[in-house]
Chain A
Amino acid sequence: MSNIPAELRYAASHEWIKVEGSTGTVGISDHAQSELSDVVYVELPKVGAKVTAGSVVATIESVKAASDIYSPASGEITEVNAELTKKPELVNQDPYGAAWLFKIALCAPDELQKLQDAAAYKAAIGE
């Protein structure tokens, strides 16, 4: 059983987003980090990049493979978690806290309704 905080929303591709005002903070779920295991490298988006929901914005590499990370929302990247470049293992250790990936200024907050709540995500990953 993985940890699925109730206050977050989840993409089918296993990213979570926390919304505060017009800013979203994005990371990957506990289930996703467990599936990846042993994260060794994180490639983050550029601050200022304008992205649409569902586009590839980052890459997380485990020992085995490189995995694309999709933005769950449209907007402009305002901040990235540079700490992950030095400590990629944080993704495994604290996926909802220290291992947030980037912050995004939301330009279409309504689209977040399309994301799953914790219960729907829990069902989607078969837990």
Chain B
Amino acid sequence: MNENIKPFFLWKHLNKLRWLVLSLVFLMLIYLPFAHVYQTFVASFSYDLLDPSEKKLFDLMEMLTSPFISDPAVDLDAIKGNTWSGNFFGYKISDPLAVVAQMASGLTVYWPFFVSGLIPIFLTIIFGRFFCGWICPATFLYELNTSLSLFLQRFGIKTGRKRFDPRIKYLVLAIGIGISAVMGSVLISMIYPPAIIGREIYFGIALGGFGAGLVFFVLTLLFDLMISRRGFCRYVCPGGALYSLLGHFRLFRIKRIVENCNDCAKCNAVCEFGLDPLHDDFGQECNNCTACIAICPTDALTFNIKITDDENQGPGHLGKAYKKHEQES
């Protein structure tokens, strides 16, 4: 193997970093409601009136937060919200889909809100659909769901393998925006899993009960498990559609080094979005999750800075098809 075309060694470990980020975001979503409950306890000066279980929560949260802050009732306000829209040390950051849907339903542009969506839009233009692979709290559960389906397959239980047209989600996006505009209500947030997850975790922890959104989310999990692997993100999710459109000309792309490739097709098998790295077909759907880089046994995948994918480079040079072709010629 030619040593010069080995990819940068850290790319192979990005998948671990991605799981770390996903877990951190999910833990944050669980921590924030508890922090809010703790804040309300502090604000009411009611330690003696709390239940024993609430006292435990109070003590735990005090232990966790007291090294970093002085006044919980005020200082814990620094981080609020979820991935749909959040407040981060005074800077508001919102999902581009929220911005688009709100503009459609309100038929006006509220500039502070538009500005809060600019950072994600900018990052999406550079990194493509990275939100779907690196941050989305629903992805965390969906990928565990995929693992569950692979686990079930070991015992001979059939799980869904159907494929649909990935363009369905653009239709869902267009219809969702259209209905939001006609009805004057941001209805797209009802079918967008990260928004649902952020809300429902808060409802479940701080308000004492899950809402209707959880039913929808469980249905999507079952859809993924029974009918189509990762089907919701691939074929339905309106946010994924918007991110794909924004990331059409993304700069960071995964590239196959054809000299190292041995056509094992592990990258195709591991790809959550059903793409085709083996034939250099990433397209706008790729979320740069780097799972294919991590699994590649011959280090044939790397990052590339370019606004288009490479043309199909043919069979890998370490594979049988290429060697046969070499001998013939």
- Please indicate whether A and B come from the same complex rather than being unrelated chains: no
Give residues in A with beta carbon < 8 Å to B: none
Give residues in B with beta carbon < 8 Å to A: none
